């Protein structure tokens, strides 16, 4: 079904238990099929009934604003280290340039730092006008969190740790629903669930500062250029200003994910696309800056967002499920790939710090 807006699916049947079992089962199958249909035809969807209340989401944004309202020198007490790994802590404006793997020339052949930075420069002349803070699991065995000292923002670490865990729970619900919607057997379902490691996902807090109307007219300023996410999928909360746009793969037109109380935005990433042999689409998305003529004299308001990037263990090899491969009509499109290797190929071009 072609659609000109971002669909909304209600997963309440997966997060509540107040009806009788057979009704609940029917509602689950129905919602799960809608979810799968959106992932297949568009690669993105808004989800309500995901398990977090709007009050919890509002709380999360209050913490994010508290963080970014701190003076720069305080935020820099939890600096993101140079280079792309570990991807943790605070990054000031201009440190990141986002790409998709398909934008990268000759990836995998020449990976010397000199070549990398040359490629970065050629790919895009301007960095993203945003600041961000990356949080991982406290149990991550590969990347250690970088926290602000507690006197800078008391309670921040405890809050973000619990938010990470809550979002890992939401992820399980969504994957569960995808498994039901696809009608996976037990073994296939287990393979799907392996695309989420609760210890290796990533919570990101983003602030796109307010932009002056005049500056917009004279400088090239980007918020977040078009890209796909390289993990399994991303769940994202945005504030009431909206701003996220997702590309419909058929019409190639960008659709605005209008902010809607109680919803999150799900976009499929490269790993689920490979796992399903393109049955699901890794969604191209961006946060654009309008033409200065379309911006009010007060400027373009600041924007905050909270994406949670879902991925498997870095050592996990993601292979296409055989049910999506048929020699004639749907031959295998992807070689199995180790997630950690795939991610490091993309991320090394994105981060501007010196190594």
Rounded to the nearest whole angstrom, what is the least distance from the CB of residue 3 to ligand AKG in the complex? 20
Q: How many residues bind Fe ion (CB under 5 A)?
A: 1
- The three-class DSSP label of residue 125 is coil
Q: Does 224 bind ligand AKG (CB under 6 A)?
A: yes
Q: Residue 69's closest CA among 197, 259, 209?
A: 209
222 with 300: CB under 8 angstroms? Answer: no
Q: From ligand AKG, Fe ion, none, which one binds at residue 244 (CB under 5 to 8 Å depending on kind)?
A: ligand AKG
Rounded to the nearest whole angstrom, what is the least distance from the CB of residue 281 to Fe ion in the complex? 14
Q: Does 270 bind Fe ion (CB under 5 A)?
A: no
Q: Does 96 bind Fe ion (CB under 5 A)?
A: no
Binder among 32, 285, 289, 348 for ligand AKG (CB under 6 A) = 285
In this chain, which residue has its C-beta nearest to Fe ion? 229
Q: Residue 202's closest CA among 171, 241, 225, 247?
A: 171
Q: From ligand AKG, Fe ion, none, which one binds at residue 305 (CB under 5 to 8 Å depending on kind)?
A: ligand AKG
Q: Does 134 bind Fe ion (CB under 5 A)?
A: no
In this chain, which residue has its C-beta nearest to ligand AKG? 305
Nearer to ligand AKG, 227 or 274 (CB): 227
Structure token digits, residue 156: 């921040």
Q: Does 136 bind ligand AKG (CB under 6 A)?
A: no
CB neighbours (10 Å) of residue 239? 20
Nearer to ligand AKG, 153 or 244 (CB): 244
Nearer to ligand AKG, 13 or 222 (CB): 222
Rounded to the nearest whole angstrom, what is the least distance from the CB of residue 173 to ligand AKG in the complex? 21
- The three-class DSSP label of residue 86 is coil
254-256 sheet: strands from edge to edge: 224-227, 285-287, 244-247, 254-256
Choose one: 1-9, 135-143, 236-244, 276-284; the region binding ligand AKG (CB under 6 A). Answer: 236-244
In our burial notation (b when 16+ CB lie closer than 10 A, e otherwise), range 201-218 reads bbbbbbbbbebbeeebee
Length of the chain: 355
Binder among 49, 307, 312, 314 for ligand AKG (CB under 6 A) = 307
Beta bridge partners of 10: 48
Q: From Fe ion, ligand AKG, none, which one binds at residue 177 (CB under 5 to 8 Å depending on kind)?
A: none
Binder among 244, 289, 300, 310 for ligand AKG (CB under 6 A) = 244
Rounded to the nearest whole angstrom, what is the least distance from the CB of residue 195 to ligand AKG in the complex? 17
Q: Residue 97's closest CA among 73, 123, 75?
A: 123
Q: Residue 98's closest CA among 284, 303, 249?
A: 284
E strands along 136-290, which residues?
202-208, 224-227, 233-238, 244-247, 254-256, 264-268, 285-287
Write out the residues near ligand AKG by the rule CB under 6 A.
204, 206, 224, 229, 236, 238, 244, 285, 287, 305, 307
Write out the residues near Fe ion by the rule CB under 5 A.
229
């Amino acid at each position: 079904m072609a659609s000109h807006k971002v669909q909304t699916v209600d997963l309440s049947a997966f997060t509540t238990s107040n009806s009788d079992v057979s009704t609940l089962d029917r509602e689950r199958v129905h919602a799960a099929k809608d979810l799968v249909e959106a992932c297949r035809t568009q690669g993105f969807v808004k989800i309500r009934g995901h398990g977090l209340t709007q009050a919890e989401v509002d709380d999360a944004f209050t913490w994010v604003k508290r963080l970014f309202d701190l003076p720069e020198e305080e935020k820099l007490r939890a600096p993101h280290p140079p280079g792309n790994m570990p991807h943790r802590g605070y990054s000031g404006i201009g440190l990141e340039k986002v790409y998709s793997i398909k934008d990268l020339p000759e990836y995998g052949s020449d990976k010397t730092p000199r070549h990398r930075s040359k490629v970065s420069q050629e790919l895009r002349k301007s960095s993203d006008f945003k600041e961000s803070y990356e949080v991982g699991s406290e149990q991550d065995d590969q990347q250690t969190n970088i926290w602000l000292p507690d006197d800078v923002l008391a309670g921040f670490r405890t809050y973000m740790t619990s938010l990470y865990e809550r979002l890992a729970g939401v992820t399980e619900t969504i994957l569960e629903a995808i498994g039901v919607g696809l009608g996976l057997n037990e073994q296939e379902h287990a393979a799907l669930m392996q695309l989420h490691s609760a210890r290796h996902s990533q919570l990101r807090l983003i602030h796109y500062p307010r932009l002056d109307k005049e500056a917009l007219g004279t400088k090239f300023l980007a918020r977040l250029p078009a890209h796909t996410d390289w993990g399994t999928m991303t769940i994202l909360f945005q504030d009431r200003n909206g701003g996220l746009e997702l590309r419909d793969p058929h019409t190639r037109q960008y659709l605005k994910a209008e902010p809607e109380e109680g919803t999150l935005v799900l976009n499929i990433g490269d790993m689920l696309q490979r796992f399903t042999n393109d049955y699901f689409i890794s969604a191209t998305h961006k946060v654009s800056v309008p033409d200065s003529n379309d911006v009010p004299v007060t400027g373009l308001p600041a924007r905050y967002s909270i994406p949670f990037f879902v991925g498997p263990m870095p050592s996990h090899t993601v292979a296409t499920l055989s049910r999506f491969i048929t020699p004639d009509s749907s031959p295998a499109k992807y070689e199995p790939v180790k997630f950690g290797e795939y991610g490091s190929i993309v991320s090394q071009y994105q981060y501007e710090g010196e190594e």
